[in-house]
Amino acid sequence: MNEVTRPNDLAHVVEADRAHVWHHLVQHKAFETTDPRIFVEGKGMRLWDAAGREYLDAVSGGVWTVNVGYGRESIANAVRDQLVKLNYFAAASGTIAGATFAEKLIEKMPGMTRVYYSNSGSEANEKVFKMVRQISHRHHGGRKWKILYRDRDYHGTTIGALAAAGQAQRRDEYGPYPAGFVEVPHCLEYRSQWGEVENYGEMAADAIEQVILREGTDSVGAICLEPITAGGGVIVPPKGYWEKVVDICRRHEVLLHIDEVVCGVGRTGTWFGHQHYGVKPDFVTMAKGVASGYAAISCTTTTEAVFDLFKDDPTDPMSHFRDISTFGGCVAGPAAALENMRIIEEENLLENTRVMGDRLMAGLAGLAEKHAVIGDVRGKGLFCGAELVVDRKTKEPTPEKQVQAVVADCMGQGVIIGATNRTLPGLNNTLCLSPALISTADDIDRIVAAIDGALGRVFG
Ligand SMILES: Cc1ncc(COP(=O)(O)O)c(C=O)c1O
């Protein structure tokens, strides 16, 4: 038998991985002395690795993705049936699954009407950047071309998306970047840029307006924001923030792009994160939880007003959105997404997310009473973070090594948690939790207990 076709010889698999796989976001030197971890199987919220060890996954596949849990046969069957019937055709044409999912998705998104398919969060965001630039060329005489993004937010890995990254450790050394991407301040009150103020949310929004005025209203076309910042430290916008942001966008005619790649499709207990705040966006992008990782799919959704800007002059061959994503035509994506959405509705997972999210937040708040190292607890739904500090008064961030020791200790207990990773220098100090929307009270309690034990062992 060929050396590389021995999938059940797990020792060989580990060696093949060590020899040939370049893992994401990982420094590989360590694999010269330790084995890469190989996951073999998943069911519900549980995973098993090549050594047969069982884990409770509190991060939905590592990066907020497997929202309905592992081993969903109905999604696998929906994908299989679709692939046998029709696996692919370029998305210049339609498909049954593509049209049906678009209709179902739009039902959940008042104000939006159009769905553009591609296959990663980065790509979905790039589509918006291209749309904004084309709108600038065709409708504003080249004005309104700049795109604002926020300190600590992340929008993807491609050069365009990195140009809009508020995370130095993701973007540094990969430039130079395209012109016209401009940063606005973050809205993390715990690390207020203006000291202790009563109306922090409004001040953080005002800071956006100051950037628009500095750059020139005429030059700013759009702003791209996460509804709740994910990898940048689980930042829930403070009171008064979104109302003011929406007002600023309206007054300065700045298109509002909400990046729901993490929050979209249930993570925070509503279909979309921005729906907590009554925000009416012009663009919404989504990826990870759309099909819970059973197929690669991302969506760029727009209002009809945006869509209309691309069909106003049918005589001009340049007037429409001249973009194609080859794998945006894979039909497995919308087939999986349809079944994923059906599961969320049938199993009442939005409600479960709200109830279990409250339990998780209460659990973390309880740990904060016991462990002084927890400086701040933040979150919404099953999307929570605990920022670790050396000293609550100075808020000096806990060194990343110790934060990672907490993660490793939990792993040793068979519970997979996350932490902000390669984001901001000196600020990779927030534990991240995003268990699947199917979490039970027992799962949540076990996650909290694991962190409790880990904090005790790492910090005494
Ligand atoms: C908010 C946000 N937007 C975009 C992306 C990029 O998505 P992808 O990795 O699918 O390209 C991510 C990935 O973590 C993300 O967290």
Whichever domain contains 383, its CATH number is 3.90.1150.10
Nearest atom of ligand 1 to the alpha carbon of 158: 11
Pick the residue whose CA is nearest to atom 16 on ligand 1.
262
The predicted-structure confidence for 327-376, as pLDDT tens digits, reads as follows 999 999 999 999 999 999 999 999 999 999 999 999 999 999 999 999 99
Considering the domain architecture, whether residues 320 and 187 belong to the same structural domain is answered as: yes
Q: Is residue 261 part of a domain?
A: yes
Rounded Cα–Cα distance for residues 129 and 323 (Å):
12
Instruction: Look at ligand 1, atom 4, and give the residue with the nearest C-alpha.
Output: 155
Q: Which residues line ligand 1 (CB under 6 A)?
A: 63, 120-122, 125, 154-157, 226, 230-231, 259, 261-262, 287
Q: Give pLDDT tens digits for 305-316.
A: 999 999 999 999
Domain end, chosen from 331, 346, 361, is at: 346
154 and 303 within one domain: yes
Q: Which atom of ligand 1 is nearest to the CA of 298?
A: 10
- pLDDT(4) > 80: no
Neighbouring residues of 313: CB distance < 8 A, sequence distance ≥ 6: 319
Identify residue 358 by its one-letter amino acid code: D
In the structure, what pLDDT confidence band is assigned to residue 1 with cuts at 50, 70 and 90?
Answer: very low
Transcribe 385-437 into DSSP letters.
Answer: EEEEBS-TTT-PBPPHHHHHHHHHHHHHTTEE-EE--SSSTT---EEEE---T
Residue 8: which pLDDT band, with cuts at 50, 70 and 90? confident
Classify 96 as helix, strand or coil: helix
Residue 198 falls within a domain, yes or no?
yes
Does 434 fall in a domain? yes
pLDDT band at 7 (very low <50, low <70, confident <90, very high): low
Q: Which of 155, 263, 268 to mutate to test the pocket of ligand 1 (most atoms within 8 A of CB)?
A: 155
CB distance 103 to 340 below 8 Å: no
Asked if residue 148 and residue 263 are part of one domain, the reply reads yes
Indicate whether 154 belongs to any domain.
yes
Q: Could you read off the pLDDT of 59-72 as tens digits, one per residue?
A: 999 999 999 999 99
Q: 25, 59, 63, 154: which to mutate for ligand 1, most atoms within 8 A of CB?
A: 154
The answer to whether 307 and 131 are in contact (CB under 8 A) is no
Structure-token match 């279909």, residue found? 271
Mutate which of 63, 118, 122 for ligand 1? The one with the most ligand atoms within 8 Å of its CB, which is 122
**What's the CATH code of the domain at 322?**
3.40.640.10
Same domain, yes or no, for 357 and 374? yes
| Cα–Cα distance for residue pair 362/367, rounded to 1 Å | 9
Give residue-wise pLDDT tens across range 245-304.
Answer: 999 999 999 999 999 999 999 999 999 999 999 999 999 999 999 999 999 999 999 999
Cβ neighbours, 10 Å, residue 89: 13
271 domain residue, yes or no: yes
Q: Are residues 332 and 413 in the same domain?
A: no
Residues 146 and 54 in one domain: no
**How many C-beta atoms surround the C-beta of residue 383 within 10 A?**
26
> Residue 107 in 3-state DSSP?
helix
State whether residue 440 is helix, strand or coil.
coil
Query: How many angstroms does the Cα of residue 4 sit away from the middle of ligand 1?
Result: 32
Residue range 122-137: average pLDDT? Answer: 98
Which pLDDT band, with edges at 50, 70 and 90, does 26 fall under?
Answer: very high
In angstroms, the CA 283 to CA 225 distance is 11
Are 278 and 145 in the same domain? yes
Q: Who's near 147: CB < 8 A, 6+ residues apart?
A: 129, 132, 164, 180, 181, 182, 221, 222, 223, 224
**Which residue puts its alpha carbon closest to atom 5 of ligand 1?**
156
Q: Do residues 389 and 303 both lie within one domain?
A: no
Examine the fold and report which residue of 346, 365, 395 is the final residue of a domain before the chain moves on. Answer: 346
Residue nearest to atom 8 of ligand 1 (CA): 121
- From first CA to last CA, the distance across the chain in angstroms is 53
Indicate whether 2 belongs to any domain. Answer: no
Alpha helices in 109-217 (DSSP H): 121-139, 159-163, 168-171, 200-215
Atom of ligand 1 nearest to the CA of 122: 11
Question: What range does the domain containing 25 cover?
Answer: 18-68+348-459
Instruction: Tell whether 6 is covered by a domain.
Output: no
pLDDT attached to residue 460: 86
Name the domain count of the chain.
Answer: 2
DSSP notation for 295-321: S--EEEEE-HHHHHTTSS-TT-TTSS-
Residues 158 and 160: their CA atoms lie apart, in Å, by 6
Cα 338 to Cα 231: distance, rounded to the nearest angstrom: 27
Cis peptide before 176 (omega within 30 of 0): yes
Pocket mutation for ligand 1, best pick of 261, 299, 327, 420 (most atoms within 8 Å of C-beta): 261
Would the pTM of this model clear 0.95, i.e. be above it? yes
User: What's the rounded Cα separation, in Å, for the pair 152 and 189?
Assistant: 13
DSSP category for residue 40: E
**Which candidate, 77, 82, 76, places its Cα nearest to that of 97?**
82
Q: Map residue 335 onto helix, strand or coil.
A: helix
Domain ends where: 326, 346, 366?
346
Three-class secondary structure of residue 285 per DSSP: strand
Question: Do 179 and 274 have their domain in common?
Answer: yes
**401 within some domain:** yes
Q: Are 419 and 288 in a shared domain?
A: no
Which residue, judged by its Cα, is nearest atom 13 of ligand 1? 156
141's CB contacts (< 8 A; 6+ apart) are none
Measured N-to-C along each axis, helices 332-346 and 349-370 cross at an angle, to the nearest 10 degrees, of 70
For ligand 1, the distance from its centroid to the CA atom of residue 60, given in whole angstroms, is 14
Assess whether 262 and 130 both reside in one domain: yes
Please check whether residue 415 is in contact with residue 389, taking contact to mean a CB–CB distance below 8 angstroms: no
**Domain match, 241 and 303 both:** yes
Between the CA of 369 and the centroid of ligand 1 the distance, in Å, is 33
